[in-house]
Amino acid sequence: MSDAAAHAMEHPTSTGIDSKKVAIWTLIGSECLLFASLISTYLVYKGKSLVGPLPHTESQCMLHGKMQACEPIFSIPLVTFGTAVLLFSSFFIVLALYGAQKGNRKMLVGWLSMTVLCGLFFIGMQVYEFTHFYHKGLGYSTNLFSSTFYTLTGFHGSHVTVGVIWLSTLLYRAVKGKIPPAKSINLEIAALYWHFVDVVWIVIFPVVYLMR
């Protein structure tokens, strides 16, 4: 079924645009403001921590009850790999959407599965990173860097988690054959949310991990 035919089955609106699509774009617009406040908080407090561990420089930090020298805490190769995985998940979901719109169930299920796997990998990477940082003495309230870092990346991680749950339910429906081309708009809405999660990380990755 063509895009036009699929649209013809939807409810007519005064703008000619599906209401669900306007709603998700409005949500994404409001989410921009949420992440802007978190990113600006991180930047405002950047470089103002009195004790370590710090992201890019060696410092003195409290570990096991005594002050000692701490190495820089970030592992850039790991996060770069996670970033690449998240970027490719955006590619995979547009292919899944293409398959859904063309009525190609195999393509839909295959690429949507890949997208969910990429999302799960990213969450796993973040859980590993947070655990690793905690064991190196970086708790939530250790310093200004840790509080703003965990809040910003934690909020993003929770959005990825919501996205993975949303896409998993759609994957289940796709496997059952319940996403025909006429209902591909449901996947398109979820894909828009997923891309937003990706573009937020496109900003967070250089701001938090690469700017010294």
Q: Tell me if 1 contacts another protein by CB under 8 A.
A: no
Near another protein by CB under 8 A: residue from 67, 71, 78, 80: 80
Near another protein by CB under 8 A: residue from 67, 69, 165, 211: 211
How many CB atoms are located within 10 Å of the residue 39 CB? Answer: 17
Q: Tell me if 117 contacts another protein by CB under 8 A.
A: no
Beta carbons of 201 and 39 less than 8 angstroms apart: no
Q: Tell me if 50 contacts another protein by CB under 8 A.
A: no
Q: Tell me if 88 contacts another protein by CB under 8 A.
A: yes
Give the three-state DSSP class for 63.
strand
Separation of alpha carbons 5 and 180, rounded Å: 12
* Cβ neighbours for 36, distance < 8 A, ≥ 6 positions apart: none
Q: Which stretch binds another protein (CB under 8 A): 79-87, 117-125, 142-150, 160-168?
A: 79-87
Residue closer to another protein, measured from CB, 67 or 199: 199
Q: Tell me if 173 contacts another protein by CB under 8 A.
A: no
Residue among 169, 149, 147 at smallest CA distance from 157:
149
Beta carbons of 52 and 70 less than 8 angstroms apart: yes
177 burial via Cβ count (<10 Å: 0-12, 13-18, 19+): exposed
What is the smallest separation between the CB atom of 132 and another protein, expressed in angstroms?
Answer: 20
Beta carbons of 139 and 62 less than 8 angstroms apart: no
Separation of alpha carbons 167 and 187, rounded Å: 8
Q: Tell me if 11 contacts another protein by CB under 8 A.
A: no
Residue span 191-210 as binding mask against another protein, x where in contact by CB under 8 A, dash where not: -x--xx-xx--xx-xxx--x
Site of interaction with another protein (CB under 8 A): 3-4, 7, 12, 15-17, 21-22, 25-26, 28-30, 32-33, 35-37, 39-40, 43-44, 56, 76, 80, 83-84, 87-88, 90-91, 94-95, 97-98, 101, 192, 195-196, 198-199, 202-203, 205-207, 210-212
